[in-house]
Amino acid sequence: MKLSVQFVTGLLLAAGVLAGPIDSAAGTAPVALERRNLFINADDILDFFALGQHFKAQDTKFAAALDNYERNTGSVHPLKVEGGAQKRATGDLGLTDIQNDQLYAGKLTFGGQTFAIDFDTGSADTLANPGAYNPSKSKTSKNTHASFSAAYGDGTSARGTIYTDSFSIAGLKANNVAIGRSSNTFITGEDSNQGIAGLSFPSIQTFPKQYPPFFQSLRDQKAVSQGVFQFTLKHGAGSSLFLGGVDASKAKGSFKYTNVQPSLGFWISKATINGKAITAIVDSGSTIISGPTSQVRSVVSTIPGLTPIYQQGSTMYVYNCAQTPSITISIAGLDVKLGKAQTRYGKDNLGRCVLPIVGQSGMPMNAWILGDTFFQMTSIVFDMDKSRMGFALQA
C-alpha cells in the first residue's frame, strides 16, 4: 500500500481548526509506506505470547516514565503504584500500520538520514537503532557526550549516546534536535521500523532537560504554526499524524476538548467505559485497551456473553463471534461506541473472538491505557499550547 506525506506552508489557522480539507497545492512530500502484521496470523489467530511480550514492554515503558518523572520533578507521580512493573507550517504525516495495529510508523530525517519510526504519545524521547542513524555521516551532528539507557519488558534494552542534529519531518525543519543513538539494535522483527519518537510532555523524558522531545523543539523554534498535533489512526491504510494544527476533514463534527496537566507528563483524562469511571492515559504506542484487573473485571461483568481466559499473566475475554459486545467509551463529552472491528482482536484456538480489553496485574500505575483500539474510532488532537486534548469521531 502506497500513501503520501503532505505538508502545507503559510496556512492561517482559525481557532486551531481548519474549516475544511487541507489545500495541498502549497507543496507535498511523498513518502512510501507499507503495512505489516505480527500479533494476528493469516488464520486470524491471536499470538498470545507476542501480545504478552507487548504488555511487558508496555509496563516497563510506563514504569520507566514514572521513574523519570520522579527524577525530573523530585516528586512521586500521583498515578504510580508501588510494586508495579518496573518556518511556520503544518505537516501531515502518513503512517504505516505496523504489526496488525500494534504500531504506527512514519518517516523522519536526522542529519540527512531518513528512516521509519514509531510515534508514541506515551513516551518522550527519540531513540534509533544504530543502523538507522550514523552521526559520522552528518555534517551537522553534535555529540552531547550524555548517555541514555532504556529497558524494555521483553528483556531488550537501548543504551547509547545522545546527539543533536538537523531534523525534518513532513517538510517541517528544526536544528539541534535530540536523538538517542543506541549502540545495540533494540528494535527487531518490525521490518523497516528503526526507532521510537515520543510525543508526551518533557517531565517523563529520559534525556536531560536541555534535550527536549522533537515536537517540543519544532514548537520552540516556531517551525509549526501551533503546538498541536493530531492522530487519525485507521484499521489498515489511511492513518495520519498532522503536525502544527488540526485537519477538520478527518473528523465527523466538531472536536470536544478536555484539559490536561502537562506537569504530569502523560496525556491523561477522566473517562467512563460503559458508565464506569476510569482514569485514562491516551497512548498511541499501546496496542489495545488495558487496565488494572479489578477495574476491568468490573466493567466487563456488565457485558453478557464474555468468558475470561488467563494468558501471559493477563485476564482476557473471549466470546462467540456471532456477537458484537456493546462497549461505549465516553471522554470529553464524546460517546465513542466501539465498532465490530474494534471489539475483536483475532481469535483463540477454539475460534472464539478475543475482546481487546485486557486486565493486567502489576501495572505500574493506577490508570487505564487507551491504545489503538480506541484511536481507530476517533481523531484525537493533542494541544500543547492550550494544555488540552480534543476528540471527534472519524469522518
The count of C-alpha atoms lying within 13 angstroms of the C-alpha of 159, restricted to the half-sphere facing its C-beta, is 4
What element of type H or E holds 308?
strand 307-311
What is the Cα–Cα distance from 231 to 92, expressed in whole angstroms? 10
Burial label, 136 (beta-carbon count in 10 A; 0-12, 13-18, 19+)? exposed
Instruction: Give the Cβ contact number of residue 337 at 10 Å.
Output: 13
Q: Which helix (H) or strand (E) holds 70?
A: helix 48-73
Question: Closest Cα partner for 274 from 301, 294, 306?
Answer: 301
Q: Give 3-state DSSP helix, strand, coil % of the chain, rounded to 5.
A: 15, 40, 45
Q: Alpha-carbon distance 290 to 38, whole Å?
A: 19
Question: Is the separation of the CB atoms in 245 and 226 below 8 Å?
Answer: yes
Which has the closest alpha carbon to 111: 168, 164, 163, 165?
165
Residue 297 has phi, psi (to 5 degrees) of -60, -40
Element (H or E) spanning 215, and its range?
helix 214-220
Q: How far apart are the first and last CA of the chain?
A: 21
- Our answer to whether residue 44 is catalytic in this structure is no
On whether the CB atoms of residues 266 and 364 are closer than 8 A, the answer is: no
Q: What is the largest CA-CA distance in the chain?
A: 61
Q: Which of 120, 165, 372, 383 is catalytic?
A: 120
Q: Is 283 a catalytic residue?
A: yes
How far is Cα 23 from Cα 357, in angstroms, rounded to an integer? 38
- Nearest in space to 119 (alpha carbons), one of 143, 91, 141: 91
What is the number of residues in the chain? Answer: 395
Catalytic residue among 118, 125, 283, 372: 283
Q: Provide the annotated active-site residues.
A: 120, 283
